[in-house]
Amino acid sequence: MPFRTTVITGATSGIGKETALALAQKDHALYLLVRNTEKGEQLKKELVQQTGNRSIFVVHCDLADLQSVKDAADQLKGKLFAINTLINNAGGINAHRQESKDGIELTFAMNHVGHFLLTLSLMPLLEKGQARVINVSSEAHKMGKVLMLNDVQFKEYSAFGAYALAKLSNIWFAKSLAERFGPKGITAYALHPGVVKTGFGSELGGLGKVLMWLGKPFMITPQQGAQTSIYLASQVKISPKLNGQYFKKQQVAKTNLAAQNASARNKLWQISEQLIAPYL
């Protein structure tokens, strides 16, 4: 594949870190969007040392702060002519209800809304690069329901419920991008990485933490968990018929019925647009 410019979120840990390493080895120019720049600079140092690739850059971006997302996108627009790959990988689950800087329920904000603003803000560069947008979702989306869109703020909070809606939103968003921007050369995918031994779940208290701990012996490594992201970012040709699809183990996989619901994904688009309106 020719030289590619790739932007990735959440590369300071777990699946994102392994994805960044593999793409640095494949000579992608990498823009690491991180909320902790110290961690980002340390990662950059490691990647340069391990791969010899010097085209690695750190950009501050807290996905739970829309001003920070806008600033990061503006910085990229000032530097780059085009982006070929955007990997919306950062995410997590929160034990208790919290709000982002913008007053949005935090799990929905960091997993979906921040990435929604980032992607739309970068769209001129993505179009120039005929880009692939890759959303790291989860099989947890299968616990998500269309009705959850009636309260994206999760006033009656459930950690697993909020996470399910956020990951279902990653799939709806990929499908909407394919529909709305496919004619302009954009392709978009969502994926499940597997059940991966990472920092994921470290915010969970009580039962959640016990469940994560019990599951650890059966989990795959971050390197294994990164394989579908790496595949989608580096496969030379992916059939145009697969635009908007959900992947698992480097193949198209089944979603729940809610993920196929066109009016739900349009509703999510409207809700997300309203939430980011001050920053577009």
Ligand X SMILES: NC(=O)c1ccc[n+]([C@@H]2O[C@H](COP(=O)([O-])OP(=O)(O)OC[C@H]3O[C@@H](n4cnc5c(N)ncnc54)[C@H](OP(=O)(O)O)[C@@H]3O)[C@@H](O)[C@H]2O)c1
What does the block give as tokens for 214?
């019990």
The answer to the question of residue 129 lying near ligand X (CB under 6 A) is no
One residue of 116, 173, 189, 200 binding ligand X per CB under 6 A:
200
Q: Among the candidate windows 6-14, 72-80, 232-240, 263-271, which touches ligand X by CB under 6 A?
A: 6-14
Number of residues that bind ligand X (CB under 6 A): 27
- 114 or 129: CB nearest ligand X: 114
* Active-site residue flag, 163: yes
The answer to the question of residue 133 lying near ligand X (CB under 6 A) is no
The answer to the question of residue 19 lying near ligand X (CB under 6 A) is no
Q: Among the candidate windows 8-16, 23-31, 141-149, 252-260, which touches ligand X by CB under 6 A?
A: 8-16
What does the block give as tokens for 204?
């969970």
Cα separations in angstroms, 183 against 130, 191, 224, 243, 261: 10, 22, 33, 11, 21
Site string for ligand X, 40-79 (x = CB under 6 A): ----------------------xxx---------------
The answer to the question of residue 89 lying near ligand X (CB under 6 A) is yes
Residue 188 is classified by DSSP as E
Which of 270, 232, 238 is closest to 26 using CA atoms? 232
The answer to the question of residue 199 lying near ligand X (CB under 6 A) is yes
- 13 or 187: CB nearest ligand X: 13
Kindly report the backbone phi and psi dihedral angles of residue 240, in degrees, each rounded to the nearest multiple of 5, phi listed first: -55, -25
The answer to the question of residue 39 lying near ligand X (CB under 6 A) is yes
Sign of CA dihedral 190, 194, 198, 203: positive
One residue of 5, 7, 8, 15 binding ligand X per CB under 6 A:
15
Report the SS3 class of residue 250: coil
Pick the catalytic residue from 163, 189, 231, 246: 163
| Amino acid at the residue 204 | L
One residue of 176, 198, 228, 234 binding ligand X per CB under 6 A:
198
Cα separations in angstroms, 258 against 144, 147, 149, 172, 243: 7, 9, 11, 9, 18
Q: Which residues pair with 253 in a beta bridge?
A: none
Residue 254 is classified by DSSP as -
The answer to the question of residue 187 lying near ligand X (CB under 6 A) is no
What does the block give as tokens for 252?
């198209």
| Chain residues that interact with ligand X, rule: CB under 6 A | 9-10, 12-16, 35-36, 39, 62-64, 89-92, 110, 136, 138, 192-193, 195-196, 198-200
